[in-house]
Amino acid sequence: MKQWYEALFENYGKQYDQENFTYGTLGECDFIEKEIGFNKKLSILDLGCGTGRHSIELTRRGYTVTGLDLSQSMLDQAKRKADQEKLNVRFVQGDARNLPYQDKYDL
């Protein structure tokens, strides 16, 4: 049986990108880049990546990014968006509370 928070995002992928808070993606990625000194050698793990707005934008800018999210429908939307732009973003379904990675990512 799915938890309420899993069911909540099941059909939210397409609507998510129209929410007001998503309009700040460019500025948010500008901030991230500044904070990491524009170091494109860093590998980035985007936890709770949703439809991939940060993962996709940072990949556009030349970073290596893996997006992880609990919701497969959100990841499906992220993959569609990345594929449309022919961007190589790795998207993984998983729970951020139980990461299978240890010391694999710089950020």
pLDDT score at 22: 78
Phi, psi of 7, deg, nearest 5: -65, -35
Question: What is the rounded CA–CA span in Å between residue 83 and residue 87?
Answer: 6
Q: Residue 58: enclosing H or E segment and its boundaries?
A: helix 53-60
pLDDT score at 13: 67
Residue 41: strand, helix, or coil: coil
Two tokens, residue 51: 């439809």
Among 67, 52, 59, CA closest to 33: 59
Among 4, 11, 26, 20, CA closest to 76: 11
End-to-end CA distance of the chain: 33
Q: What is the mean pLDDT of each run of 10 residues along the chain (107 residues)?
A: 67 72 91 97 96 97 96 93 97 90 86
pLDDT score at 63: 98
pLDDT score at 9: 65
pLDDT score at 5: 64
Q: Is 49 in contact with 29 (CB distance < 8 Å)?
A: no
